[in-house]
Amino acid sequence: MEENEFLKKMENLKKPEVNPEVSQRQIKLAIMNAKRSAAWGLWFLLIPVVFFACVAIKELLGWDWKFAENFPEWIVYLDKSTGFPLASIILFIVLPAIGAIANLLAIMHFIYEKQTKELIITIRLKWLNIFLATISILVIAFVLLYVIAENSAEKAIRRYDVEWHNK
Q: Which residues pair with 110 in a beta bridge?
A: 121
Instruction: Show the domain range for 129.
Output: 31-159
Structural domain contains residue 130: yes
Q: Tell whether 21 is covered by a domain.
A: no
In a domain, 137, yes or no: yes
Per-residue pLDDT of 128-141, as tens digits, reads 999 999 999 999 99
Residue 51 is assigned to a structural domain of this protein? yes
pLDDT tens for each residue of 106-164:
888 888 788 888 888 888 888 999 999 999 999 999 889 988 988 888 888 888 777 77
Q: Is residue 49 included in any domain, yes or no?
A: yes
Strands (DSSP E) contained in the chain are 108-113, 118-123
How far, CA to CA in Å, does 17 sit from each of 20, 21, 25, 93, 166?
10, 12, 16, 50, 86
CA 110 to CA 125: how far, in whole Å? 15
In this structure, are residues 79 and 85 in contact, taking their beta carbons and an 8 Å threshold?
yes
The verdict on residue 75 lying in a domain is yes
- Whole-angstrom distance, CA of residue 37 vs CA of residue 31: 10
Residue 6 lies in a domain: no
| pLDDT tens by residue, 48-105 | 888 888 888 888 888 888 888 888 888 888 888 877 788 888 888 999 999 999 888 8
Structural domains in the chain (count): 1
